[in-house]
């Protein structure tokens, strides 16, 4: 079922573009740059109720200009510091990970300096970062890079410093190509690589799943670009895991990992692709969430032809119960953020606008 929906919530200034955004209950926090100076990245926030009013957080977050590629900036987390009313933004700057203080009387910008973990190899680029564990005073990050490396670092908010963790060594060098997507939840880690494998860290052990045996079509580029997953409790200490894997020129592929550790392809959820709309960008991703108060999974994907795709999957019967295609805009729809169970925000219009869709 197709629908035309969505609205523009924020539009950046002319001759600028948005790298990414994240959300609090009342604000959007946005990273953007001039088109002709993509390494000059500003952070600011707007009120959802008054998006015309913008407040600057940082005028230039300090990305190395010696990189061979434009930065792929991502706001990983807006981390609330317990008891302070302050937020620290954890930002992937492509050449490192930086923490910016944002508000709060004890953690204001003039009292806590931004703290950066630099990627030591100037020929490498951070592709994805996610949080594997966090407490009131620290956060552990898993970092995937273009050259296929995986790092894990800890940021300590009280000491305002990073340290490298050693346990991640089992993850480093497992991929033979770029680690384009890192997702973490409840101690599990999933990595998606351009080598068309998904690597899963489960209960302290590494597993791999080759994404193959996909439906044939006229397009030859079928590359894994992202992964997302949910853990669903089956028994007191056992979980089913469902992985949504994005594959270019196919769509989202849903896998189930049983409590016995067996992987099974459950469903291929196709996007509209043909010879004229061949997908080439690694930015498109699939997200999967467990729908509240139902036995459904909700899977959402952006696309390269201005569309956003939505599927509902019934766990009890292993079938798709609803699918919608939302015609949003021109160009790529990506950076999808679920701000509540019924609202999606996303980048659109050549990364110049944040859109909103109620589902």
Estimate to the nearest angstrom the gap between the alpha carbon of 117 and the chain centroid: 19
Q: Which long-range contacts (CB under 8 A, 24 or more apart) does 301-304 make?
A: 301/246, 301/251, 301/252, 301/269, 301/271, 301/336, 302/332, 302/333, 302/334, 302/335, 302/336, 302/346, 303/271, 303/272, 303/279, 303/332, 303/333, 304/277, 304/279, 304/280, 304/331, 304/332
Average pLDDT of span 140-145: 94
Between the ranges 7-11, 53-57, 208-212, where is the mean pLDDT highest? 208-212
Percent of the chain at pLDDT > 90 equals: 47
Phi, psi of 167 (to 5 degrees): -65, -20
Residue 207 confidence (pLDDT) above 80: yes
**Token digits of residue 316:** 């009890």
Nearest of 319, 312, 303 to residue 267 by alpha carbon = 319
Per-residue pLDDT reduced to its tens digit, 242-274 = 999 999 999 999 999 999 999 999 999 999 877
87 neighbors 81 (Cβ within 8 angstroms): yes
Per-residue pLDDT reduced to its tens digit, 111-121 = 567 899 999 99
**How does DSSP classify residue 277?**
S
Predicted local confidence at residue 84, as pLDDT? 42
Average pLDDT of span 227-238: 89
* DSSP structure string for 294-349: SSEEEEEE-BSSSEEEEEEEETTTTEEEEEEEEE--SS-BEEEEEEETTEEEEEET
Average pLDDT of span 97-118: 68
Residue 108 confidence (pLDDT) above 70: no
List the strands of the sheet with 16-23, edge to edge: 16-23, 27-34, 42-47, 54-58
HEC profile for 79-96? Answer: EEECCCCEEEEEEECCCE
Average pLDDT taken over every residue of the chain: 85
Q: Pairing mode, if any, of strands 16-23 and 7-11? A: unpaired
Residue 213 confidence (pLDDT) above 50: yes
Predicted local confidence at residue 103, as pLDDT? 61
Average pLDDT of span 316-335: 91
The confidence band for 82, taking pLDDT boundaries of 50, 70 and 90, is very low
User: Please, what sign has the CA dihedral across residues 110, 129, 131, 153?
Assistant: negative
Name the residue with higher pLDDT: 234 or 181. 181
Residue 71 confidence (pLDDT) above 90: no
Give the Cα separation of 200 and 149 in Å (integer): 15
Predicted local confidence at residue 86, as pLDDT? 58
Between the ranges 49-58, 127-136, 180-189, 322-331, where is the mean pLDDT highest? 180-189
Q: What residues contact residue 96 under an 8 Å CB cut-off, 6+ apart? A: 116, 117, 118, 119, 126
Average pLDDT of span 160-182: 89
Per-residue pLDDT reduced to its tens digit, 15-54 = 999 998 887 777 888 999 999 988 888 889 898 888 888 8
Nearest of 191, 209, 186 to residue 144 by alpha carbon = 191
Which range, of 83-92, 163-172, 260-269, 271-280, averages the lowest pLDDT?
A: 83-92
* Burial of residue 340, with CB atoms counted within 10 A of its CB: 0-12 exposed, 13-18 middle, 19 or more buried: exposed
Name the residue with higher pLDDT: 311 or 85. 311
Average pLDDT of span 311-335: 92
The confidence band for 70, taking pLDDT boundaries of 50, 70 and 90, is very low
Average pLDDT of span 205-216: 89
Predicted local confidence at residue 80, as pLDDT? 47
Neighbours of 62 (CB within 10 A): 15
Which range, of 73-87, 92-106, 172-186, averages the lowest pLDDT?
A: 73-87
Owner of token pair 């998006």: 51
Residue 66 confidence (pLDDT) above 60: no
């Amino acid at each position: 079922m197709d629908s035309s929906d969505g609205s523009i919530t924020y539009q950046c200034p002319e001759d600028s573009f948005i790298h990414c955004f994240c959300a609090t209950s009342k604000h959007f926090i946005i990273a953007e740059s001039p088109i002709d100076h993509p390494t000059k990245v500003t952070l600011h926030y707007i009120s959802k109720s008054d998006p015309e009013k913008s407040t600057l957080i940082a005028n230039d977050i300090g990305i190395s200009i010696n990189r061979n590629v434009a930065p792929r900036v991502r706001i990983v987390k807006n981390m609330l510091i317990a008891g302070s009313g302050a937020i620290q933004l954890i930002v992937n700057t492509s050449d490192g990970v930086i923490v910016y203080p944002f508000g709060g009387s004890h953690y204001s910008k003039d009292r806590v300096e931004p703290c950066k973990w630099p990627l030591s190899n100037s020929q490498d680029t951070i592709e994805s970062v996610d949080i594997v564990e966090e407490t009131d005073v620290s956060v552990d990050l898993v970092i995937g890079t273009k050259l296929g490396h995986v790092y894990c670092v800890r940021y300590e908010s009280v000491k305002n410093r990073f340290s490298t963790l050693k346990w991640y060594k089992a993850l480093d060098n497992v991929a033979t190509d770029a680690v384009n997507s890192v997702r973490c939840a409840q101690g599990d880690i999933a990595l998606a690589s351009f080598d068309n494998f998904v690597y899963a860290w489960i209960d302290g052990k590494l597993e791999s799943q080759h994404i193959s045996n996909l439906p044939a079509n006229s397009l030859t580029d079928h590359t894994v670009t992202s992964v997302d997953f949910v853990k669903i409790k089956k028994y007191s200490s056992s979980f089913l895991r469902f992985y949504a894997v994005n594959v270019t020129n196919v769509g989202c592929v849903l896998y189930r990992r049983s409590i016995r550790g067996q992987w099974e392809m459950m469903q291929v959820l196709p996007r509209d692709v043909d010879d004229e709309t061949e997908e080439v960008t690694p930015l498109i991703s699939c997200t999967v969430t467990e729908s509240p108060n139902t036995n459904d999974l909700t899977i959402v994907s952006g696309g390269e032809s201005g569309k956003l795709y939505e599927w509902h999957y019934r766990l009890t019967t292993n079938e798709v119960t609803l699918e919608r295609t939302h015609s949003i805009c021109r160009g790529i729809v990506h950076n999808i953020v679920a701000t509540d169970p019924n609202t999606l925000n996303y980048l659109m219009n050549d990364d110049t606008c944040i859109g909103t869709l109620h589902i």
